[in-house]
Amino acid sequence: MLYFSYFLFSLIGLLSYFVSVYFLFLLIPVALLTYYWTRSKKLVIIGLIFAIIFLIIGWIFPKGIETKGNITGIVIQRKETYYLILTTKGKYLVFDNSDINLFSVVELSGYSSKLLFSHYEQGFNFKEYLNSQGVYYAYNVDQAKIIFKSLSISKPIQEWISKFLNTNSTEIVNSLLFGQGISSEKKELLNIYSLTSIFSLSGLHISFLIRIISNLTKARLKKKNDYVITTILFAFLFTSGFKFTIRRIFLFYLIKTVSSHMFKKHLYSVEILSISCIVMFIFEPYIVLSTSFYYSFPFLFFLRLFPIKAKGIKGYISFLLQLTLFYLPYKLLSDYQISFLGIFLQLVLSPFTIIIFLLSLLLIVPYVGFVINIVVDLILKILTIGTNINIVFVSGKIHAYQVIIYYFLLFLCLSLYHYKYKFHSKEIGVVLSLVTSSFFVPDYLYHYEVHFVDVDQGDCTLVRNRHCIFLIDTGGIVGKDLAKECLVPYFNKLKITQLDYVIITHQDYDHYGALESLENIFKVKKVLYVEDFISNKNTYYIDNLIVHNLNFYDLNLTRDKNYHSGVYKFDIKNNSFLIMGDAPKEIEYKIINDNSLLNIDYLKVGHHGSKTSTSEELVKHLLPKEAIISCGEKNRYKFPHSEVIDVLKKYNVKIRRTDLEGTIVYKFT
C-alpha cells in the first residue's frame, strides 16, 4: 500500500496547485494513514516530498503564452477540424482541416490568443475541455510548414473496413476500434439511454481482448505473454490516436512487464495502478482536471478493493452490476436523470459490443462483416423502438453530502459482504436502496428564484414562484436544438417537470427559436405573446405573481419587431424585475413618461446590450441595483456596446453578463 499512499501524496500536490491550496490539509490524514501502514517516519517524509515535488511540477509546467511569431512543435492530438500542438512553451489549439497527421512536426507563423468560444447552459464547454488538456491559448496560423509528416495508420484500416460493412456498422466499428465519434443522429439515440460509452473504445473492450490473448498464448509463450500483450496495446495506441484509455492500459502493462521481467519484482495490481498514475502525473499533470481521469482510476482502485470472485456469466453480471452501482452518482451529477431502460440495456448490450469489437478484428474472414451488419442493425432498431417506452427518473442536481452517504453505504455493504457478514450487508443494501430512491423524490418545496439562462446570443429568463414556473423567451440558435441541448437538461438539473407558461417578448429567432422543439419534448401548459397581454389589459396573474406588460403602444408603429417587443415587469419577494426584451430607446422614453414612479431592483438590459437600447434617461429613471446583459461570448455584433456599459457604470449599477458568468441566478427566501 506504500505506492498507493505515494499516489495520494502526488494527487494532493497537483490538486493543491490546479484547484485549491486547501487540498494541502488532506496531507494530514494521508500522512497518518501512511505511518499506520509502514510504521516509518522516513517513508512519511518521502511522501510529503512527493506532494511538494508535484505541486512544483504543476507550477512550472509550460502553459503557453500570448505571443506573435513562429512556433515549432509536434501534433499530439488530431481531430477532424483542429489539432493540439506541443511546443517548448506549452500546448496550443490550431484550427485546421488539412492532412496534417498525428505526430507530424510543424512550424507555424502567426500569433496566439486566449481561448474564446461561444457557450450555453448545459452545452459542451470546449474551453473547459481544452483547459483540462493544459491548453489555454489558440494559435492563429498565417502560414504552416510541415517539417516532418507522419503516416496515418488508422485511415487505410478504416478504408479497408468500410468495404465489408454498411454505413451503420462502419460508424460503430470505427468508434469501437479507433475511438472515433459517432454521427449526431446515432449519438443522440445512444445518449437517450446513456449508452455512448459502451459503443466506444473503452477499457471494457480492451480488457476482454487481453483476457482472450492471455488464454491463447499463456500456455505456449509463458513468460513472453506480457510482451505480446504490451506490443498489441502499443499498436492500439497509434490506431486510437493515443486515446486516454489506451494510454492508461498500455502504461499499466508496460510497468507490469518491466517490473516482473527486468527487475524480477512482482507488484500487486494496486501498486502497478498507483505507479501508472504517478508516471502520468509527471508527463500529463493536467489529467487531474480531466473527467477521463476521474471516470477511470477511482473505479479501477474500487475493483482492486472489492475483487469479483465469481467466474463466467455470473462473474460478468456481477462486474456490470458493480459498474452500474459505482457510476450511478457520476451519471446523476452529469445528466441529472437516469434511464431505467438504459440500465437494463447496458447490462444486455455490453456483451454484444464486445462481440462486435472482437469480430471487427477478424473482418478479413469471410461473412464476418455480414454478421456485424446484422447485429448492429438489430441493436439500433431495438434502441429506436425503445424510445417509445423509455422511462426516465429525474434526480435534479444531487448534493455532495448525498454522494458521500451513498458511497459510504456502498463501501460498507461490499465490505461486509466480502468479510462474510452477508446478512448485515443485505441490511445495509436496503438502506442504500432507500438512499438511492431519495434522489428521485419530487421537489415539493417553495422556490422564489429568477434565472437568466445562458443561451449564447439570445434571451431566456426562468422564474420560479412557489410551485409555479414560467419562462420568458426561449433563446434560439440556428443549427442547434437549444431546447434539447440546453433548456430541458437545465430543467432536469432543477428537478422541473413542467412549465406553467412560456411568455414570448417578440418573434426574433434568438428569443423564441427554441419554442417549437420545447413544446414537442417538454410539458408546456400555455404560451403567451404580447397580444395576449394587450387583450388582457396588459396584466397576467400567474399564481400569486402579477406580470405587467409596459409596452402596449400601437403595434402598427413600425414593421421593426423590436418596437413590438414585450417589456415585462414583476415582483418576487419584494424584489422588482424588468425584462426589456429588444425594446429600443423610443419605447423606453414612452415607458418613462407613462410610469413616473417606476422603481426597479434588477434590470434585464434591452437588446443584449446594444446601443439602440438602455438610454441614460431609462437608467437614471430606474436606478436599478443590478443590470443583467444576456449575450454570447465573442458574438459577431460585439454586444454589449461600450456606450451601454458606460451609462450603467455612471449610475453605479452593478453589471452582470452571461457571456462572462454563464447562467445568472437570484434566489430569495
47 is in which domain, residue-wise?
A: 2-60
Query: How many structural domains comprise the chain?
Result: 5
For residue range 69-84, list pLDDT tens digits in order: 999 999 999 988 999 9
Cβ density class 120-129: b for 16+ within 10 Å, e for less: bbbbeeebee
229 and 148 part of one domain: no
Q: Are residues 580 and 633 in the same domain?
A: yes
CATH of the domain at 546: 3.60.15.10
> What would the grid cell of residue 350 be?
455490453
Q: What CATH number has the domain bearing residue 140?
A: 2.40.50.140
Give a three-class secondary structure readout of 400-431: HHHHHHHHHHHHHHHHHHHCCCHHHHHHHHHH
Residues 360 and 253 in one domain: yes
Whether 584 and 480 map to the same domain: the answer is yes
Whether residue 133 is found in the same domain as residue 159 = no
Mean pLDDT score of the chain, rounded to an integer? 92
- The DSSP-derived string for 589-604 is HHHHHH-TT---SEEE
pLDDT category, 496, cuts 50, 70, 90?
very high
Average pLDDT on 74-97 reads 93
* Domain identity same for 327 and 454: no
Residues 6+ apart with CB under 8 A from 146: 100, 104, 105, 106
Residues 7 and 88 in one domain: no
Q: What is the pLDDT of residue 655?
A: 98
Q: Give yes or no: residues 459 and 563 share one domain.
A: yes
Q: Cα separation of 533 and 581, whole Å?
A: 15
Q: What percent of the chain has pLDDT over 70?
A: 98
At 94, the pLDDT band (50, 70, 90 cuts) reads: very high
The yes-or-no verdict on residue 557 having pLDDT over 60 is no
What's phi and psi for 536, nearest 5 deg?
A: -115, 35
CA nearest 499: which of 464, 449, 529, 458?
Answer: 464
In terms of domains, do 453 and 556 share one?
yes
- Residue 114 has φ and ψ, to the nearest 5°, of -65, 150
Q: Among 152, 178, 202, identify where a domain stops.
A: 152
Contact by Cβ (8 Å): 464, 445 = no
Q: Do 114 and 229 fall into the same domain? A: no
Which amino acid appears at position 481 of this protein?
D
The predicted model scores a pTM of 0.91
Q: What pLDDT, on a 0 to 100 scale, did the predictor assign at position 72?
A: 96
pLDDT at 169: 94
* 56 and 121, same domain (yes or no): no
Residues 372 and 460 in one domain: no
Mark which of 100, 117, 152 sits at the end of a domain: 152
Q: Over pLDDT 90: what percentage of the chain?
A: 71
Domain boundary among 115, 136, 152: 152
